[in-house]
Amino acid sequence: MKILVTGGLGFIGSHTVVELQNESFEVVIIDNLSNAEEKVLEGIIAITGKKPIFEKLDLREKNSVKEFFTKHADVAGVIHFAASKAVGESVENPLLYYENNINALVYLLQELQQKTDASFIFSSSCTVYGQAEKMPITEDASVQPAISPYGNTKQIGEEIIQDVAKVSNIKAILLRYFNPIGAHPSAEIGELPIGVPQNLVPFITQTGMGLRKELSVFGSDYPTSDGTCVRDYIYVVDLAKAHVIALKRLIENKNEAKVEVFNVGTGTGSTVLEVIQSFEKVSGQKLPYKLVDRREGDVIEAYADTQKANKILGWKAESTLDQAIESAWKWEKKIRS
């Protein structure tokens, strides 16, 4: 069965391609290489022994999307990762975000709605909850007004899918990721941030390698156990597996609604200082860091209630924070060697 993975050479996309191939799905990747490298294919092949089909294509080009679905008329399901994801950049250049994240989604759905049956998995984010009132966050927590164009594209994306599913054969699962981290245990694929990493874990591993002088810990006066923000760091391989399970659920028509929503997290919150401690433990080295002012737009805490995913999807995060950080460190050391 052929599955399209858009953004399949990116961080979460590439790990999901590996899990799909491990489960004998035939994978076709669309990627425009705007934030990924073609050599990621080699890592995927090294792990799975199989080469996915790769179509270098920009989803903002409506005709190219049309041509793709003519060529690959047998695509049975789509996992849609391709999107821009830097919060700060989205504030600077909102139209880039609306074009990349919304136009592309619309063009994909336009093609899919012509099919008699189509399964669609959407990369959403816990960012839709903003600062939720209650922890852990359940899927029925209210969606808060987005604080960045990036966050807004995820909310609008969810709404578009809901509307289209009502009037078409498209069934969808919206996966709301918490904070994905780590790399494949083989260190053949992992995260490849361009420039200075905005996210915590790649910044830590680069600092550990001496590429950055020190980590700035954004805010130490939050009302949390040690004053730093709390997040739910989910191992990327566990996250990738959630996609395969969700996709199978739709393909086998086991879904209970046209659109279902699941949190994908571990259920455990960790502070920034706890992540640093984990890094120090697995790497056996001290991490230089300083406490600085809060970063604008950060919520105090966000961690998932995972009961819905546990019970209904039958999926549970298996790896610990230490294991995830260890994999990120192994990957960082490999790409710098």
* Residues labelled catalytic: 150
Q: Using the minimum distance from each CB to ligand WQD, give the nearer residue, 85 or 249.
A: 85
Q: Using the minimum distance from each CB to ligand WQD, give the nearer residue, 89 or 298.
A: 298
d(CA 14, CA 43): 9
Centroid of chain to Cα 36: 14
Residue 189, CB-side half-sphere exposure with 13 Å CA sphere:
29
Q: How far is the CB of 83 from ligand WQD (least distance, A)?
A: 8
Residues paired with residue 218 on neighbouring β-strands, in sequence order: 292
Query: CA 101 → CA 17, 53, 89, 143, distances in Å?
Result: 20, 23, 13, 19
* H runs (alpha helix) in the chain: 11-22, 40-48, 62-71, 87-92, 94-98, 104-112, 149-166, 200-208, 236-251, 272-283, 307-308, 321-335
Q: Using the minimum distance from each CB to ligand WQD, give the nearer residue, 217 or 250.
A: 217
Q: Using the minimum distance from each CB to ligand WQD, give the nearer residue, 215 or 250.
A: 215
Closest alpha carbon to 247 in 10, 7, 21, 92: 21
Q: Using the minimum distance from each CB to ligand WQD, give the nearer residue, 132 or 217.
A: 217
| Interface positions with ligand WQD (CB under 6 A) | 85, 87, 125, 127, 179, 198-200, 203, 215-218, 229, 231, 272, 295, 298
Tell me the one-letter amino acid at 130: G
d(CA 215, CA 204): 7
Tokens of 152: 């807004």
CB atoms < 10 A from the CB of 145, how many? Answer: 8
Q: How far is the CB of 319 from ligand WQD (least distance, A)?
A: 17
Q: How far is the CB of 202 from ligand WQD (least distance, A)?
A: 8
Q: How far is the CB of 154 from ligand WQD (least distance, A)?
A: 8
d(CA 158, CA 4): 19
Q: How far is the CB of 321 from ligand WQD (least distance, A)?
A: 13
